[in-house]
Structure 1
Amino acid sequence: MASSKPLLKVDQAGIRFGGLKAVSDVNVELYPGELVGLIGPNGAGKTTFFNLLTGVYVPTEGSISLNGEKLNKLPPYKITRKGISRTFQNIRLFSELSVIDNVKVAYHSLAKHTIVSSILRLPGHFGGEKDMDIKALEFLKIFDLDHYKDEKAKNLPYGKQRRLEIARALAASPKLLLLDEPAAGMNPKETKELMELIALIREKFNLTVLLIEHDMPLVMGVCERIYVLDHGQLIANGTPEEIRNNPKVIEAYLGEEVS
């Protein structure tokens, strides 16, 4: 591990919806530079947990901290500014915007030009727009999407839409990147390319990555550690080899392939 202090610390966090405990007593620590998986059966609470980390839901118990700073009651946009960015299980692009404009959206809070300069079309506005164009194009090149920069996002093939969503998440300059089932709907070739891409961006951007995924070869192939959720509670945490042979994990998947 690159640091003895966790980047993300989740201490007995949970949330209730009425009388139902959707997630309960979850303890997670992620260290700078780690690539960690979060797996579990459908309905185990994985996406709910991501929603807690990003402020979509407010924990009703426990605490969530990034770099020692408590995030519990911050709205999503402030948590993004603190350094957590995510993708979604169902792709959420601005379908009518161009590919490059989808990436530029992530820069809005980092733009140097002011509202006044934008309204009055002052030089600072054009300088800021040019900077964003350059930065956005750099991200598109990394994801091999630069040739599609002027295409509407909805016209991209499915696999490239997934890549675009990850590129947009990275453009927000996160310390922690949350990927929610990035391989969903991909064919084997696209999944293999995604595995390589996740490893590349972790190294290139010096990121910590937490990955929800049902594709076990992908998870076992790229993750250093894996947490397992079942019915809203953590039942295991360990290396891929430890998780693969954990009786509780095998039972929770009710015969699903974990290797």
Structure 2
Amino acid sequence: METNKPLLKVDHVGITFGGLKAVSDVNMELGKGELVGLIGPNGAGKTTFFNLLTGVYEPTMGNIELNGKRINGNAPYQITRKGISRTFQNIRLFNELTVLDNVKVAYHSNAKHGIFSSILRLPSHFKGEKEMEQEAIDFLKIFNLDLYKDEKAKNLPYGQQRRLEIARALATKPSLLLLDEPAAGMNPQETESLMKLIAFIREKFDLTILLIEHDMQLVMGVCQRIYVLDHGQLIAEGTPLEIRNNPKVIEAYLGEEVS
């Protein structure tokens, strides 16, 4: 019996838009509990790759497996239910909803009470809603957001909005969390706090995390392995030290800071 089966396996995956290869022949494996970085210059195809993993785009070549099962062609909501959740480079919250309701929305994807009990307002509906609300509050406490539970999401400070987006993604109870530039727009103090948060949630929730980030201090500080994309192709993979000294990576960044 195979015991080291990867949680995520990406096999020769690519996508073409109008003849342009946005992502080409990418291979990647993530083991359970790993914290892995995905870096590359602007326009390298990193977010497109996340969109392939989450069903926003369907690969035109290759295969994606989660827990040994092919997920190509699945809709985003189906992939979420199977265990992949994500955040976005530009924060996507329900700004007019409260902090609590933003998390409750995520919990509804795994609601135990069905649609008919909700339509008919059966006791199971009210019981399920009450349990969901308490679970959401307990979840917000983990992220020190419970004090803001009745605030509209748009009124939170920027760093707290980032924390809320991560909390909402985790509320879907994923096995794989994709973070798309979570430190974007943060100051050094907020970035340092984010580094600690990422390490904490990985251990707390027994997660595998794949992280896109331009802040190399964050990437080198928290990731065990790093993949590097350039023009849609993987050009390197290794430990932070190996990546920092890789000639191909240095050339791709054209002298940009990578250490």
TM-score normalised by structure 2 residue count: 0.98
Sequence identity of aligned pairs in percent?
81
Give deviations 1:38-82, integer Å, cap 9, x for gaps: 000000000000000000000000100001100111111101111
Aligned to 2:101: 101
Map 1:103-118 to 2 at 5 A: 103-118=103-118
Give unmatched runs, 5+ long, in structure 1: none
Q: Which amino acid aligns with 2:13?
A: A
AA aligned to 2:161 is: Q
In the alignment, the residues of structure 1 paired with residue 56 and residue 40 of structure 2 have an alpha-carbon distance, to the nearest angstrom, of 21
Count, aligned residues = 257
* Equivalent residue, structure 2, for 1:83: 83
Q: Which amino acid aligns with 1:134?
A: Q
Provide the rounded CA distance (Å) in 2 between the counterparts of 1:231 and 1:157. 35
Question: How far is 1:112 from its partner?
Answer: 1.8
- For residue 45 of structure 1, what is the aligned residue in structure 2? 45
Query: Which residue pairs with 1:170 in the alignment?
Result: 170
Question: Are 1:119 and 2:119 counterparts?
Answer: yes
* 1:109 match: secondary structure: helix
Moved over 3 A (4+): none
SS at match of 1:218: helix
The one-letter amino acid paired with 1:211 is L
Query: For 2:119 and 2:53, how far apart are their aligned partners in 1?
Result: 35
3-state SS of the aligned residue for 1:108?
helix
After superposition, the C-alpha distances for 1:188-218 in whole angstroms (9 at most, x for unaligned) are 1110000000000000100000000000000
Larger deviation: 121-130 or 213-222? 121-130
- In the alignment, which residue of structure 2 is the partner of 1:214? 214
Residue 119 of structure 1: how far off its partner (Å): 2.6
Deviation at 1:115, TM superposition (A): 2.2
Matched with 2:255 is: 255
Q: Which deviations, in whole Å up to 9, do the C-alpha atoms of 1:227-259 show, x marking residues without a partner?
A: 000000000000000000000001100111000
SS in 1 for 2:89: coil
- Matching residue's letter, 2:243: I
TM-score normalised by L of structure 1: 0.98
Distance in 1 (alpha carbons) for counterparts of 2:114 and 2:248: 54
Name the amino acid aligned to 1:153: A
**1:19 corresponds to:** 19
Structure 1 range deviating more: 213-222 or 114-123: 114-123
Residue of structure 2 in register with 1:6 after alignment: 6
Which digits, 9 at most, give the CA deviation of each residue in 1:83-111, with x for residues without a partner? Answer: 00000011110000000100011111211
- Per the alignment, residue 182 of structure 1 pairs with 182
CA contact (8 A) 2:81 2:110 kept: no
Q: 1:156: Cα distance to partner?
A: 0.5
Q: Structure 1 CA distance, aligned partners of 2:178 and 2:90?
A: 14
- Verify the 8 A CA contact 2:89 2:184 in the aligned structure 1: yes
CA contact 2:213–2:219 (8 Å) conserved in 1 = yes
Q: How many Å separate the matches in 1 of 2:121 and 2:150?
A: 23
State the SS of the aligned residue for 2:109. coil
Q: What residue is the counterpart of 1:71 in the other structure?
A: 71
Mean Cα deviation higher: 200-209 or 130-139: 130-139
Could you tell me how far apart the structure 2 residues matched to 1:79 and 1:111 are? 16
The equivalent of 1:129 in structure 2 is 129
Unmatched runs of 5 consecutive residues or more in structure 2: none
Please say which of residues 130-139 and 38-47 is displaced more in the overlay.
130-139
String of CA shifts for 1:135-183, please: whole Å, max 9, x gaps.
Answer: 1112211111000000000010111000000000000010000000000
Q: Contact 2:195/2:222 (CA < 8 Å) preserved in 1?
A: yes
SS of alignment partner, residue 95 of structure 1:
coil
- SS for the counterpart of 2:12 is strand
